[in-house]
Amino acid sequence: MEETIKLIGAIMIFMGSFSLLVAAIGLLRMPDVYNRVQTGTKASTLGAIMAFIGVGLFKFESWGDGNWLGRVIILILFILLTNPVSSHVLMRAAYFMKVPLSKLTKTDKLKEDLDNNVIKEPSNE
């Protein structure tokens, strides 16, 4: 049973590493900063969570010794809370600094909301 759990943990670590590799490739292939941040955030969140679950399963026999399960859960919650928020803040800052969108971009919902006074542009004060 323990060997099966270790094998599942190793597979999860591999899948998480593969997802992080895909994120790195996506960062190189995307046309603008907004797509790069979005690609990096989604894939790195998934990759890191899968890798942490894999480490937690791989260290299954020492759960009682070092409380691996609690640490893994805390790390996963931290990533789930901070990755989306930080990427949102980065993209908003880039948008308001007038970083240009890609020529392939079809719609700009934030510009529509700003034009319709649904939201207000932040002031520099």
pLDDT digits (tens, 9 = 90+) for 32-48: 888 888 888 888 899 99
Answer whether residue 122 is part of any domain: no
Tokens of 11: 């597979």
Residue 83, domain member (yes or no)? yes
Confidence band, pLDDT 50/70/90 cuts, at residue 11: very high
The reply to whether 121 falls in a domain is no
Count of helix runs (H) and strand runs (E) in the chain:
5, 0
- Give the pTM: 0.77
Within a domain: 120: no
**Domain-located, residue 73:** yes
Residue whose pair of structure tokens reads 């899968």 in the numeric block: 50
Question: In this structure, is residue 84 part of a structural domain?
Answer: yes
- 65 confidence band (pLDDT: 50, 70, 90): low
pLDDT for 13 beyond 70:
yes
Which of 25-34, 65-74, 99-108 shows the lowest mean pLDDT across its residues? 65-74
CA dihedral 63, 53, 79, 44 (to 10 degrees): 150
pLDDT > 70 in the chain, percent = 93
Q: Is residue 90 part of a domain?
A: yes
Report the domain count for the chain.
1
Distance, in Å, from the CA atom of 69 to the CA atom of 5, rounded to the nearest integer, reads 14
- Paired tokens of 74: 């805390």
The mean pLDDT value for 17-39 works out to 89
Q: Give me 24's structure tokens.
A: 């790195």
Q: Which residues contact 47 (CB under 8 A, 6 or more apart)?
A: 16, 17, 18, 19, 20, 22, 23
| pLDDT beyond 90 at 14 | yes
Domain contains 92: yes
**What is the spatial distance between Cα 83 and Cα 48, in angstroms, rounded to a whole number?**
11
Host domain of residue 100: 2-115
Residue type for position 2: E
